[in-house]
Amino acid sequence: MKRVLIATSNAGKLRDFAGAAAPHGIEIGGIPNFASLPTVVENGQTFDENARKKAEEYSLAAPGQIVLADDSGLEVDALNGAPGVHSARYAADQPHLADENTDDEANNSRLIRELRKVPPEKRSGRFVCVLAVARDGATLATFRGVAEGRILDAPRGTNGFGYDPLFFFPQINKTFAELSAEEKARYSHRGEAFRKFLAWCAKQFPEDYI
């Protein structure tokens, strides 16, 4: 089984990537001693900037290896695209200045409060993922995935993480938190970005990835 390194300590993201990789016979692994590495400050203005920064810096800890890092979040139209790149810190008083992520429950609670007067037909939004691929400190490529949906006024489901319980995907009439890892990979922003990465790998490194 081939192995791909993911620069994250987020268990939810690792499950998502594992779900996307399993059908292709690829194992997802973390960077060795990741917890001891200096934290990369995600101060970019876009998902692309943050993904590139994380992939480049963390790839230095795994010389010669292909390292993936993603930045992802939820964009809600009624909130002018918020929480966006600040999705993981949305519950903070000033998310753009927060040094640490706020917990999922707090983030979801704030989102519910912000949308409490917004009618269902105006609760459109999307999950966005930008996946950056780096080796030895240089970005080799980036891939973007998007999932369009609607934001609920109460959570549904116990799987997933982040805003998954509030993100309703009309195509299957379920929230992302009501899906298995494999099902979520089929429909999610992260799954789409990962499939694009696999297609790129098949062309760039056919001896390793096919």
Active-site residue set:
71
The first and second tokens of residue 141, run together, are 């490529």
- Dihedral of alpha carbons 157, 161, 163, 164, sign: negative
C-alpha span between 115 and 108 (Å, rounded)? 11
C-alpha span between 66 and 206 (Å, rounded)? 14
The CA angle 166-170-171, to the nearest 5 degrees, is 130
Alpha helices in the chain (DSSP H): 11-21, 47-59, 104-114, 181-187, 189-204, 206-209
Q: Which residue from 65, 66, 39 is spatially nearest to 53, judged by alpha carbons?
A: 39
Mapping DSSP to helix (H, G, I), strand (E, B) and coil, where does residue 84 land?
Answer: helix
Bond into 83 cis (ω within 30): yes
DSSP annotation of 41 reads P
Residue identified by tokens 């692309």 is: 48
